[in-house]
A = this chain, B = another copy of it.
Amino acid sequence: MAKAAIASPWKNETERKTERALKREAVLAAAAHVFSERGYHRVSLDEVAQALNVTKPTLYYYFKNKEAMLFACVQHGLDMLEAAGSAAEGNGRTRLVAYLEGYAAVIETDFGRCAVRISDAELSEASRKKVRRIKSEIDRKIRQLVADGIADGSIASSDPKITAFALAGALNSIGQWHPRPSQPADRKLVDEYINLLMNGLAPR
């Protein structure tokens, strides 16, 4: 496939479509950043616009309204959470730990924090429905990993359902507490966290 040796300054339709998509993503990233940091209601679209060096009506060119923007952020975050650590191999326990680590990593991103911190009550009924679908998909996934672990003897648990809920909840709390996560410290936090969940506090 021959590509133009020098990039043409003129854009064909495909390129323009791509550029529009990129701008839309930039809006989303800016929104996710402030939403996750300060919360949906406390952020005005004027602020989002300012952060991007444009004016508010421009945002409306890319999104129907503020809620659509929020929904896109949450959805993206949830999609990332669902896709976390899917490549892992091994017994239930190994795969579960891999997934939890991936999950924790996502939660440290703006989109992940949006997905975790934003209450679905902010969303319209239609959006909420979609969000719930992805959330229960994630829940199902964790539950499956726990069940696999129980089956192969690598995990002890009496109730995969509650366990899955507890695991997700515990990790989500990482996203709640401090608004500005410091990169180096968090690695240890997450490791310790997962270690606690897997091994508990009982003395050996």
**Cβ-defined contact, B176 with A172, below 8 A:** yes
**Cβ-defined contact, B162 with A169, below 8 A:** no
**Cβ-defined contact, A203 with B163, below 8 A:** no
A64 at the interface (CB under 8 A from B): no
Give the number of copies in the complex. Answer: 2
A residues at B contact (CB < 8 Å): 38-39, 41-42, 93, 96, 117, 119, 121-122, 146, 149, 153-159, 162-163, 165-170, 172-174, 176-177, 179, 188-189, 192-193, 196-204
Q: How far apart sit A162 and B189, CA to CA, in the bound complex (Å)?
A: 6
Question: For chain A, what secondary structure do more than half of its interface residues adopt (helix, strand, loop), or is it mixed?
Answer: helix
Q: How far apart sit A177 and B93, CA to CA, in the bound complex (Å)?
A: 25
- Tell me which of B42, B159, B176, B202 contacts A198 (CB under 8 A): B202
Q: How far apart sit A131 and B202, CA to CA, in the bound complex (Å)?
A: 32
